[in-house]
Amino acid sequence: MRFLTWAIRLALFLLLLAFAAKNTDPVALRFYFDLAWQAPLVALLLAFFVAGAVVGVAAALGTLLRQRRELQRLRCEAGRRGSAAPDGAPVPPSPAEG
């Protein structure tokens, strides 16, 4: 199974490498006020892919950090309840926050 995974990775890498080699022609990216940036097409595609990935990670980061804080709060709360309860006594559920 491991061999198959590496074979697929190698094939995908070679496919993308061939795509990059075929798209080295310079293209002009035109901005406002007659500003232009001239670079190989594959470099522009890579730059915009990386920029999109960074924006996507930044958008998900807020939610991830909020969930981690809530998990930490719930673990601390559960730890305090577990040590405060007498042996074998059930701990009643807390009322829903609202």
Q: Is residue 38 a part of any domain in this protein? A: yes
The distance from CA 13 to its chain's CA centroid, rounded to whole angstroms, is 21
Q: Is residue 1 a part of any domain in this protein? A: no
- The mean pLDDT of the chain is 84
Q: Which two tokens stand for residue 69?
A: 């804080």
The secondary element (H helix, E strand) that includes residue 27 is: strand 26-30
* Predicted local confidence at residue 66, as pLDDT: 92
In this prediction the pTM is: 0.56
Q: Are the CB atoms for 24 and 41 separated by under 8 Å?
A: yes
pLDDT band at 71 (very low <50, low <70, confident <90, very high): very high
Q: Is residue 28 a part of any domain in this protein? A: yes
Q: What is the mean pLDDT of residues 42-50?
A: 88
Q: What is the span of the domain harbouring residue 68?
A: 18-82
User: How many domains are there within the chain?
Assistant: 1
Q: Is residue 12 a part of any domain in this protein? A: no
Q: In the chain, pLDDT over 70 holds for what percent of residues?
A: 87
How many Cα atoms sit within 13 Å of 79 on the Cβ side?
6
Q: Is residue 76 a part of any domain in this protein? A: yes
Q: Is residue 65 a part of any domain in this protein? A: yes
Q: Is residue 42 a part of any domain in this protein? A: yes
* Predicted local confidence at residue 45, as pLDDT: 85
Q: What is the mean pLDDT of residues 2-16?
A: 91
Q: Is residue 7 a part of any domain in this protein? A: no
pLDDT at 98 over 80: no
pLDDT at 87 over 70: no
